[in-house]
Amino acid sequence: MSALTVRIDPHVHSEGSYDAHDPVELILEQAAEIGLDAVVVTDHDVIDESLRAAQLAPMYGLVGIPGVEVSTADGHLLALGVEELPPRRRPLDETARWVRERGGVAIVPHPFQRSRHGIGRRRLGRYHDAAGGDAFDAIETYNSWLFTGYKNRRARRFAAKRQYPGVAGSDAHKVGYVGRAYTEIDIPDVSRASLTADDILDAVRNGSTEVQGRRTPIPTSTKHYAGAAGRKSAYYAKRGALGSALLAKKGAFKSGYYAKLGALKSGSLAKTGVAQAVRMLYRMSPFSR
């Protein structure tokens, strides 16, 4: 069996993050539409939406992989394949060890970009040396959110010199940017039907990765974002229609309830009026004396 090429965007943010707004359903739909095999929702220091995305992924033909972008004492760290939130504000090496002990993959995102909580070069180098060259599993050598390619090139040189696998991620905070950069992984002796999250995570650890993050031609980019905008509009239109139907159902229920209540009250009043009339006639009759 030949190697299976898998395409994954390991760095995407959903409405679970304080700085993003799109639901995981839209992210999964976009990932499937553009030909990815997996997308990892890595919200900032929260994991609930990522767990939900991993559960929903098979419905979109994707492999479900949970993850989170956790804030360490030294900067951000991507934790892929974990199902609980790693401890926050701990040293990078301690957090990476926590992730790896639980079967996850620890990836350093957007290194050297301090304005975005990327880990500095000297500090990253010290952790590498202290761990004997095994401080973490991979380095994000292409992040599509960077304005220039300078920091990506520095990350690529750092990873190559120290023999860390390089990965690419979109770092998307809007659904239209999902897959703008992604990682290709070659996995031998695996069929697409049998592909699992563990297969993908093992391949990242083993370095079977190729970075795919290039400037997109304008026509392709326009089509990409237009498709995402259309899906987003359709999603919210559908959600709005479902909300309207639910409100209409509630309104009909309330109307029926109040109509029934009114009828019961009218019947009760009518019954009371008849009883009062009978009592009055009895008092006026000779039988009351």
Which range has the top average pLDDT, 59-73, 112-126, 222-236? 59-73
Between 54 and 2, where is the model more confident? Answer: 54
pLDDT at 10: 98
pLDDT at 124: 95
Q: Domains of the chain, with CATH numbers?
A: 3-216 (3.20.20.140)
Burial annotation 93-109 (CB, 10 A radius, 16+ → b, else e) = bebbbbbbeeebbbbbb
pLDDT tens-digit series, residues 98-119: 999 999 999 999 999 888 899 9
Across 146-174, average pLDDT: 91
pLDDT at 221: 46
pLDDT tens-digit series, residues 186-228: 999 999 999 999 999 999 999 989 998 654 444 444 555 566 5
pLDDT tens-digit series, residues 225-234: 566 566 667 7
- Please count the other Cβ atoms lying within 10 Å of the Cβ belonging to residue 7: 18
Do residues 62 and 6 lie in contact, with contact meaning Cβ atoms separated by under 8 Å? no
- Percent of the chain with pLDDT strictly greater than 90: 66
Across 148-170, average pLDDT: 92
CA angle 26, 85, 177 (to 5 degrees): 30
Residue 149 has pLDDT above 60, yes or no: yes
Total-model pTM: 0.78
Between 155 and 273, where is the model more confident? Answer: 155
Between 204 and 269, where is the model more confident? Answer: 204
Across 124-149, average pLDDT: 90
pLDDT at 246: 63
pLDDT at 115: 80
Between 161 and 271, where is the model more confident? Answer: 161
The contacts of residue 230 (CB under 8 Å, 6+ apart) are none
Instruction: State the Cα–Cα distance between residues 233 and 101, nearest whole angstrom.
Output: 42
Whole-number mean pLDDT of the chain?
85
Across 166-180, average pLDDT: 94
